[in-house]
Amino acid sequence: MASVTATLISVLFFFSTHSASGSYPKAQNVTWKSTNFKTILSWEPKPSTDYSYTVEFSAVGGGQRRNPHCIRSSAAVCDLSSSLNDVNACYIADVLSQPPLGATTDLIEFPSTSSPRFCPYKDTDIGKPNFKLEVNEDKKKTTLYVTDPLTALFKDGHQLNIRDIFADQLQYKVTYRKNKSTGKRVYNSKSNIIELPRLDKDESYCFNVQAYIPSRTIDKQLGELSQTQCSQDNNPNIFEVYSVGVIAAAIFLILLLIGIIIAIAVVCCKRRKKAQRGEKEGVPLRHVVDV
């Protein structure tokens, strides 16, 4: 009887310890977020003090590696920007649920969730570019000088921009319109210096620029739209030159001035009439001569 009891206790202890060790929840919603090759792997839920996460990743067909900042981590994100060295490869990451740092366990295999496949060259989003706007003296040609967005990648101590990576595949799409119109035109350029010669003279135009990589899938061809810049309007209306407050103040001053002029004119007119009446009252009456 004693041996049976001991066996039962041992079995219960075995299942209780392994149940506790194997209670780490699996990661869910493992997703990639990448802009200009700044690549973040994220998932849910954020771990409690009872467990942590370790990220293992590999190029398709290659061996698994680990980022030292994502081992037994209490975060639910992992920055893999500097780890995905080959931008032309495709990667898969596994998020393992493990004991917290410093804790031990009898488990050999841990709950794991795999990410979707991620290919940096094809999948990273391209951020908005900056550009400078210049109008020729004759007002017939406008030139845009576009700055290639920087990436999170470095080579030989030099930070790479998107032109360094995409080379001749990189183009820029310019969307422009007249300042007072909603009709849009589009111009694609392979150069960072974009000349738009066929614009109406003395008209103000507004421009947006975005990266365009035609070799990608349609949903990844266009980068983020830049901020809008407009050329100077040589024939601006009053509402474009002055704010509503300034215009209202000017109208008020004009009306006040007109009111003062009218008031002065009325006062002067009354005084003149009063003076004329006084002169008439001061003239002696003529003697009436009896016939």
Mean pLDDT, residues 222-242: 77
Confidence of residue 14 (pLDDT cuts 50, 70, 90): very low
Nearest C-alpha neighbor of 228 from the set 149, 126, 128: 128
Structure confidence at residue 115 (pLDDT): 97
Look at residue 236 and tell me whether its pLDDT is greater than 80: no
Which fold is adopted by the domain 130-235? Immunoglobulin-like (2.60.40)
User: N- to C-terminal Cα distance for the chain?
Assistant: 170
Type of residue numbered 226: S
Place of tokens 């109406």: 200
Which fold is adopted by the domain 23-123? Immunoglobulin-like (2.60.40)
Rounded to the nearest integer, the mean pLDDT of the chain is 85
Q: What is the pTM of this model?
A: 0.71
Residue partners of 101: CB distance under 8 A and separation at least 6: 52, 72
Q: What's the CA angle centered on 29, arms 26 and 34, to 5 degrees?
A: 125
Look at residue 12 and tell me whether its pLDDT is greater than 70: no
- Identify which has the larger pLDDT, 105 or 214: 214
Structure confidence at residue 269 (pLDDT): 85
Q: 3-state DSSP: the chain helix, strand, coil percent, rounded to 5?
A: 30, 30, 40
Q: Which of 80-94, 110-124, 132-146, 159-173 has the lowest mean pLDDT?
A: 132-146
Structure confidence at residue 244 (pLDDT): 74
Structure confidence at residue 282 (pLDDT): 61
Segments of the chain assigned to CATH 2.60.40.10: 23-123, 130-235
Structure confidence at residue 284 (pLDDT): 57
Q: Which of 67-71, 115-119, 232-236, 282-286 has the lowest mean pLDDT?
A: 282-286
Q: Report CA-CA distances (Å) from 15 to 10, 26, 112, 202, 203.
A: 9, 20, 21, 83, 80
Q: Helix and strand tally (H, E) in the chain?
A: 5, 16
- Identify which has the larger pLDDT, 289 or 106: 106
Look at residue 52 and tell me whether its pLDDT is greater than 60: yes
pLDDT per position as a tens digit, 71-127 = 999 999 999 999 999 999 999 999 999 998 888 777 778 999 999 999 999 999 999
